[in-house]
Chain A
């Protein structure tokens, strides 16, 4: 097969490309330039957006012995991921940009271009497995990234290759070292790649501006404080609420809900965070068609947030009735549906009750 390996400059995508090459595929490495103004050197723990990262990816490709190019997807990334991220926060939601990037860039814009140019698949360093065209959790449960891939449909998965899903991260690092890949010891990237400072609130404030509103007690409706914009909040958040007076019962308060139009942030006790029903929209079913209602484990954020549920697909919507309450379920996040370690689909959370 002709395989396009997306290479971020990190250890995972480098080993993924090397494994695809070892498997006998005709592999070409491509680094996606996603920043319109890349810094010369990496800042902190970001793992994809500097010239240094592009250089690391190029170096790895040279060691593996595959052609390597840098493709400019900065404009697409800005429109489809960054703008979407900002708009979702402005609307009181909590988006997952990595998931959006997989959906709109890596397995859409990049995949489309790769297919048109004669490639058969796009290979990435995600920790997930593909078995018989079905997406499954990685063997390394701590690194499992099937959640951020759960937005991919059958056609996208058909052209995807995840060579790392059967291996734990420690072994990937050892393998990278054994292969002579200098990125073997490169720190894992976390944070959001396009927010170099790691200060998401400041990033959003600079783009959304101040939109002051009240912080109110969810029970009484009493105004407890003021804030500069709903983008500073996410459901389940405890810190930085800007509320000075303690709750009457002395228990900590959490963000329970966000109303973007009025700019109201409702706060209350942890128990009020319990969610039993999740409504979501725009479902993607990995089989290509909506299944009959089924029992599943739902996952509502990249790490953790698991609960048993009955899932009821309903056209452009889907409802999950949880058998046990789940906390910190934020609209805008994806809810992914698992049967065993198999991803059945996902959808974007709209409301919770």
Chain B
């Protein structure tokens, strides 16, 4: 099986940039705990701090606002739980955790855990048909009882359907009521213009492996004045917020990738967006009843497109997403049903359901996510087989 593979699952993880592999590989052969005081430690410390500065510069943050973590899940947990605990400690009335319906499970389940174990009250902010949180919806939820609101979390751009949220507006609304806001920007950084300071948010999650950096390396950008209680206790690294020996090579790889991805983002967004539009157009020409879910991608939000340029999320009526995935995989095309998998069982996407889709539509969806290695040939390979794949999947029907 040496046939070429068309990898269209960049939203799950994207290949590391060559420069990041090189920088990280070089760092892997150097010894040094960044907390040590001797020469080796100082050298590691320098690598880490330069990496921190490069990341900060790329995303409009100050170096002291960069809290290094193991990735998106840890950053989301730290933000949601840490902010909740700190806010509640300051005022015991603050129990409401406001999260949007289309959050990643790292945010949703953190909020639910707080409700089950820490006396929090979770309020799920509704989204519109495109999967977007309207600032009015947040304002209404906060206005009802601002003094009991602990924290707000709304993702910058949705991982499943690609819809971009008006984060600046949402941050302004949250701050009008004196409530801190976190955003999971895992899908946004490196492709959309993300500026931490300009966005106004108090905390922002980014991760390496979604933008060409290493796995297991991420950041929580955390405003200097924003109190957070730690999840991990120990050596008091990272502003006492996140203990643990720093992974110097990973930080070096992450910084290299963030810097490059952000620098190349405008050009790459245009290229990938063009390929995506081509892909969607060709799929719909072959399968006329295929429906593009989420924002149509023609608008602008905070200086960038209103939909992630690499995201093509489509529903194929009468098909089971699992069937489509398997048939495409057999043709060497790798994509995703775009939904949460635990035992590998595809559950109907909570994102699509929140957008008002019925369960059959939710189960009959596929996410193609394009990235920095995607070419026109990839688009052609999907176009060539999508008709027969959908036809066959339709014959197999839906299992319920």
A residues near B (Cβ < 8 Å) are 28, 31, 33, 38, 51, 54-55, 58, 67, 69-76, 109, 112-113, 116-118
Query: What mask results when residues 305 to 348 of chain B are scored 1 for a CB within 8 Å of chain A, else 0?
Result: 00000000000000000110111011000000000001111110
Question: B38 an interface residue at 8 Å Cβ cutoff?
Answer: no
Report which of B329, B346, B393 forms a contact with A72, defined as CB distance below 8 A.
B346
Are B344's CB and A117's CB within 8 A?
no
Contact A31 B344 (CB under 8 A): yes
A83→B400 CA distance, assembly (Å): 16
In-complex Cβ contact of B329 among A58, A67, A109, A116 (8 A): A67
A-facing residues in B345-400 (Cβ within 8 Å) = 345-347, 392-393, 395-397, 399-400
Besides the known contacts A51-B342, A113-B397, 8 further A-B residue pairs in the complex with CB atoms under 8 A apart: A67-B326, A67-B330, A69-B325, A72-B322, A112-B396, A116-B395, A116-B396, A117-B392
Q: State how many residues of chain B have any CB contact under 8 Å with chain A.
A: 20
Q: Cβ of A58 and Cβ of B344 under 8 Å apart?
A: yes
Contact partner of B343 (CB less than 8 A), chosen from A28, A38, A112, is: A38
Which residue of B344, B346, B397, B399 contacts A73 across the interface (Cβ within 8 Å)?
A: B399
Instruction: Give the chain B neighbours of A109 by CB distance below 8 A.
Output: 399
Chain B residues positioned under 8 Å from A38 (CB to CB): 343, 345
Kindly name the residue among A55, A73, A74, A113 whose own CB sees the greatest number of chain B CB atoms within 10 A. Answer: A113
> Knowing A71-B399, A75-B400, A117-B327 touch, does A54 contact B392 (C-beta < 8 A)?
no
Distance between A57 CB and nearest chain B CB, rounded to angstroms? 9
The docked-state distance in angstroms from the alpha carbon of A137 to that of B400 is 34
When the two chains form their complex, are residues B323 and A118 in contact, meaning their CB atoms are under 8 A apart?
no
Query: What separation, in Å, do the CA atoms of A58 and B325 have in the docked complex?
Result: 17
Instruction: Name B's A-contacting residues (CB within 8 A).
Output: 322-323, 325-327, 329-330, 342-347, 392-393, 395-397, 399-400
Residue pair B396, A72 in contact (C-beta under 8 Å): no
Cβ B326 vs Cβ A117 within 8 A: yes
* Chain B residues, CB < 8 A from A31: 344
- Decide: A76 and B325 in contact? CB cutoff 8 A: no
Cβ contact of B345, chosen from A72, A113, A117, cutoff 8 A: A72
Which among B325, B329, B342 has the greatest number of chain A C-beta atoms within 10 A?
B342
Nearest residue in A to B322 (C-beta to C-beta)? A71
Closest 3 CB pairs of A and B: A116-B396, A70-B344, A51-B343
Q: How far is the CA of A31 from the CA of B343 in the complex (A)?
A: 10
- 7 A-B residue pairs with Cβ-Cβ distance under 8 Å, sorted by A, are A54-B345, A72-B399, A73-B399, A112-B396, A116-B396, A117-B393, A118-B327
Please state if B344 and A76 are interface contacts (CB–CB under 8 Å).
Answer: no
Complex partner residue of A76 from B327, B393, B400, CB under 8 angstroms: B400
Establish whether residues A69 and B395, one from each chain, have CB atoms under 8 Å apart when the complex forms. Answer: no
Chain A hits for B397, CB < 8 A: 113, 116
B330 cross-chain contacts in A, Cβ below 8 A:
28, 67
| Residues of the A chain whose Cβ atoms lie less than 8 Å from the Cβ of B396 | 112-113, 116-117
Give complex CA distance A325, B396 in Å.
47
Residues in B whose Cβ lies below 8 Å from that of A73: 399
Contacts A31-B344, A58-B344: A116 and B392 contacting too (C-beta < 8 A)? yes
Give the docked Cα–Cα distance between A245 and B151 (Å): 68
B310 to chain A, nearest CB (A): 24
Q: How far is the CA of A165 from the CA of B400 in the complex (A)?
A: 33
A259 to B327 Cα, complex, angstroms: 51
Establish whether residues B323 and A117, one from each chain, have CB atoms under 8 Å apart when the complex forms.
Answer: yes
CB distance from A115 to the nearest CB of B (A): 8
Which residues of A lie under 8 Å from residue B347 when comparing CB positions?
72
Please, how many angstroms separate the alpha-carbon atoms of A288 and B21 in the complex? 63
Write the chain A residue with the least CB distance to B342: A51
Q: How far is the CA of A113 from the CA of B394 in the complex (A)?
A: 10
A118 touches B392 (CB 8 A): yes
